[in-house]
Structure 1
């Protein structure tokens, strides 16, 4: 028997995580590499924006370029490149809403119902993330602002593993069937593969 659809009842801030070093992209700022003539993060923005109340961007380089989108841009508040969790912490600290939906800047084919499905699947949990047919996608997540002190303490301890944190918070994986919508553009080869595919 199908569960009744639970409509989103609260404002949600969308967050594009673009704060990485781009090591597998030869050090380039991944969000700004061009896919079919448009910066990668702009593809994510176009898909995320209709699903949330507003979008902010977590970036540690080229903030001015990201601000051209009209979105507010925040850098990590935790020193050093501490990975996606540091971007999540900064975004939650700056968010004006109780909930934030995260998407990495290298997932240009996100589903149009990403946030709605995470919202429905989270049940009572304060954290939920995407699980596709083949794997978990922890940077595609929904998170409640109440986890901020716990996340700050986790980073302070020197922990960086995103999946460990999500599980430690009692988070739930939400299953999505369409694995191809969660393709990551991580390398120049990935970029070349998808330049003309869609």
Structure 2
């Protein structure tokens, strides 16, 4: 059986949240990343958290925290690079800290439908979700070179390196992410 490392991407600046650390925003009296962790942890062998601030608060979860190796918050690809570099497994699953309702089997479904691709990601009925991905650790050097050239487009990197989307028929709400204060308020109202 294949082992997977899971990485929760929580290293952004939270610019659409007024600079707040998005993973630590409260949803139902619990930090947002904890909702992700609860659904993600059973799907992988170990979970790392990619974060660049509030390290001690993320470490309180019992997960190892990894930081970006590149300065100035270069985006989710930098968190993915840190996850790939710190993984002890060949395959690394990624999930954004602001996607609290991910399916309980999204990693298994990505694995089953990847064919021979070195990277796959979720495609819901409305759009692609490249931060919900399964990536082979062998792409780390190419990813680092991509970032050092100033590239930041996640889906383009995945496409250019042989990746493909995997269609998910789950309700769109399973992939809803919380990007703004209004999104957070609306999510609380829906619960």
Instruction: Say yes or no: TM over 0.5.
Output: yes
> Given the two structures, how large is their TM-score scaled by the length of structure 1?
0.94
Question: Structure 1: how far apart are the matches of 2:53 and 2:189?
Answer: 28
- CA distance, structure 1, for counterparts of residue 180 and residue 141 of structure 2: 34
Residue ranges of structure 2 left out of the alignment (5+ in a row): none
Matched position secondary structure for 1:191: helix
Q: Choose from 59, 69, 81 the match for 2:73.
A: 81
Match of 1:77, SS state, is coil
Instruction: Return the alpha-carbon distance in structure 1 between the equivalents of residues 132 and 63 of structure 2.
Output: 19
Cα-to-partner distance string for 1:148-180 (whole Å, 9 max, x where unaligned):
110011011110110110101110100001221
> Structure 1 residue 196: deviation in Å?
4.1
Matched, 1:67 2:59: yes
- How many angstroms does 1:24 deviate by? 0.7
- Pairing 1:14-29 to 2, within 5 Å after superposition: 14-29=6-21
Choose from 151, 155, 178 the match for 1:185.
Answer: 178
Deviation of 1:11 (Å): 0.5
1:129-144 pair list within 5 angstroms:
129-144=121-136
Of residues 91, 94, 97, the one that matches 1:105 is 97
Which residue of the partner structure matches residue 57 of structure 1?
49
Per-residue Cα deviation, 1:63-107 (whole angstroms, up to 9, x for no partner)? 000000000001001122110000000111001100000000000
Alpha-carbon offset, residue 59 of structure 1: 0.2
Contact 1:36/1:196 (8 A) holds in 2: no
> Conserved in 2, the CA contact under 8 Å of 1:122 and 1:174?
yes
Q: Count residues with an aligned counterpart.
A: 190
CA contact (8 A) 1:129 1:140 kept: yes
Partner of 2:39: 47
Partners of 1:34 and 1:79 in 2: how far apart? Answer: 27
- Number of the residue aligned with 1:37: 29
- Give 4+ residue runs of structure 1 displaced > 6 Å after superposition: none
